[in-house]
Amino acid sequence: MKLSSLAADAAADAVTARVDGGYLRVYGDVALVVELRFANPAFNPATGGVARANPIVAGYARGGIARTFRAVAADGATVVFEGTVNSREPADMVLGDTNIQPNAHVSVDVFTYTHPKEQPE
């Protein structure tokens, strides 16, 4: 199945709107490594199924080796989407260094959400 650009944009916008004012949490194997805060609205409108995040509030890390992330709604409990973290692609989130030191200042330069136009059959 293929989606039009308009449909992919609408799908991406629907997902990203759910994290307005929410949290970007990065985890190690189990423990939280760092929690950052999404803006409200969290993302700009999607183009071509890709939505780019508005500036994310930086934070200080608890420390650990980043393995996964979760984008969480403003209620702090509802996971909207999640993915893998690594220092290189094909991870969903690519960090320069996944070994995050305690009390390190963590910021995000670019964060995008992509809704694919082609769906698996």
pTM for this model (two decimals):
0.92
Over residues 32-76, the pLDDT tens digits come to 999 999 999 999 999 999 999 999 999 999 999 999 999 999 999
Closest CA to 94 of 66, 62, 52, 53: 66
What is d(CA 68, CA 88) in angstroms, rounded to the nearest whole number? 13
The total of other beta-carbon atoms located within 10 Å of residue 18's CB is 16
Quote the mean pLDDT of the chain: 95
Output the six-digit token pair for 116: 């694919």
- Model confidence at 120, pLDDT cuts 50, 70, 90, reads low
Instruction: Note whether 11 and 1 are within 8 A (CB).
Output: no
Kindly list the domain boundaries of the chain, sorted by start residue.
Answer: 5-114
Output the pLDDT for position 118.
Answer: 77
Output the pLDDT for position 121.
Answer: 61
